Amino acid sequence: MPAATDPTVEVKFSEAIRAATTEAHGSAEGASFLSDLLGGALPLEGYGRLVAQHRAIYEALEASNDAIAADPVVGGFVQHDVVRLPALERDVVSVLGLAWSERPEAELVPATVEYCARLREVGASWPAGWVAHQYVRYLGDLSGGLFIRRGIEKVYGIDAGTGTAFYDFPQVPDPVAWKDAYRRRLDEAPWDRDERALIIDEVLAAYRWNTELLVQLGG
């Protein structure tokens, strides 16, 4: 009997997550805001709106790095080579100016506000749930994010020094190797079946927030 259909064979956790999120991937990629952005239908300030959302999200996610790093189970998931907030701080200034926080483009959409609240909640009380959000963000950044970067730089004539530092990973020379190592870490984490199910639910929730904020930006 093939391993894929053998009920006695344990599916790797990373593979279970990937299988559970296949449909969610398509929902995010189909958001009209991204297609408008990459198609040049929006002004640079439209991109600035996305940068402002990302800045808030990573501020909330990475605020828990130090506390999570001390956790005996998930501490190894904190990877300083992919920290994004400093890059986003540079991008938001490059795109919206020094007074970016006073501009209407910096206003957070409701989905981003809810998303950030959840990130702070799990960061303070549920480290495994925090990993679920880290998984969605960083692996996405190192996958589709690289495609988005190329499109934005082509349309708006900017680069890592003038607005796309978020998509630049100078400390990750091999994104594929980084993602493979991350998935091995997921597979080796000592979570039981119930905890893994909860983490997958949280991954799906993260995808929903990410999709909804794009929908709201497009609205």
Structural domain that includes position 208: 33-218
Q: Is residue 94 part of a domain?
A: yes
Cα 91 from chain centre:
16
Sole residue written with tokens 């910096």: 106
Here the CATH number for the domain that contains residue 83 is 1.20.910.10
CA distance 63 to 137: 15
pLDDT value for 4: 44
Residuewise pLDDT in 10s, the chain (219 residues): 334 444 444 789 999 999 999 877 656 555 789 999 999 999 999 999 999 999 999 999 999 999 999 999 999 999 999 999 999 999 999 999 999 999 999 999 999 999 999 999 999 999 999 999 999 999 999 998 889 999 999 999 999 999 999 999 999 999 999 999 999 999 999 999 999 999 999 999 999 999 999 999 998
pLDDT value for 5: 42
Q: Is residue 189 part of a domain?
A: yes
Q: Is residue 4 part of a domain?
A: no
Q: Is residue 37 part of a domain?
A: yes
CA distance 55 to 79: 18
pTM of the model: 0.93
Q: Is residue 2 part of a domain?
A: no
Q: Is residue 9 part of a domain?
A: no
Residue spans of alpha helices (H) in the chain: 13-20, 22-29, 32-38, 44-62, 65-69, 85-96, 110-125, 127-141, 144-156, 175-188, 193-218
CB 211 within 8 A of CB 27: yes
Q: Is residue 75 part of a domain?
A: yes
Q: Is residue 22 part of a domain?
A: no
How many folded domains does the chain comprise? 1
